[in-house]
Amino acid sequence: MHEAVTKNTERRIQRTMEALRANNMEAYYVKTAAEVVPFVEQMIPAGATVSNGGSVSLAETGVMDLLASGRYHYLDRSKVSGEALEQLFRDVFSADWYLASTNAVTENGELYNVDGTSNRVAAITFGPKNVLLVVGCNKIVKDIHAAATRVKEIAAPANTDRLGCKTPCAVTGTCADCHSPARICCTTTIHRYQRIAGRIKVLFVGEPLGF
């Protein structure tokens, strides 16, 4: 990335961090993806009960491997299915930490997410004592309108393709407001000012992550 682009990206991240802090969320910044795992190790004490939402950003940065390393009591959704998975989704509400990314974050300090099963947006909203979101610089948008557009034209088509969902966006690359059984955007959440100060923490990375 050209130095001028890096500087502009960092200014945008700083603006967004200030807006998130004004909304009672914590905000942090590391320059590279390689710094994410050391940050998480320093932030989350060994032995804590942790879980996560599905996230390419967590996989790309090595956080998924850290969660599964044995350092934590990990509620691992990848190891269960059926009724056990349903139970795990409920157990997650009692976890110490929940890790995920966000589909978009606005320069006004708003988190914008869509979900199919909705366990991820539910846990971000309520339950786990702490929520840590790992967010690449590509997720920052101007406002809620731009966030919705980002989801329909970038995040949803890429995620449905990744997950093998048979939805219109997986084929055409854009939203058709479908009634598909595999729809991944059944619920939309916007997190603005939070009553519980600091529960939601956002770690920005000065590189693109996920989609």
Binding residues vs ligand SF4 (CB under 6 A): 152, 156, 160, 167-169, 175-178, 180, 183-185
Q: How far is the CB of 114 from ligand SF4 (least distance, A)?
A: 7
The residue (of 12 and 183) whose beta carbon lies closer to ligand SF4 is 183
**In the complex, minimum distance from the CB of residue 72 to ligand SF4, in angstroms, rounded to a whole number:** 32
Dihedral angle, C-alpha 184, 185, 187, 190, nearest 10 ° = 130
Shortest approach of ligand SF4 to residue 211 CB, angstroms? 13
**Would you state the torsion angle of the CA atoms of residues 125, 181, 151, 186, taken in this order, to the nearest 10 degrees?**
-30
Nearer to ligand SF4, 27 or 185 (CB): 185
Residue 22 vs 171, nearer CB to ligand SF4 = 171
Extract the tokens encoding 103.
Answer: 């589909």
Measured from the CB atom, the residue of 132 and 148 that comes closer to ligand SF4 is 148
End-to-end Cα, the chain, rounded Å: 18
Where do runs of H (alpha helix) occur along the chain? Answer: 3-22, 36-43, 56-61, 63-67, 82-91, 119-125, 144-150, 156-163, 168-172
CB of 185 to ligand SF4, least distance (A): 4
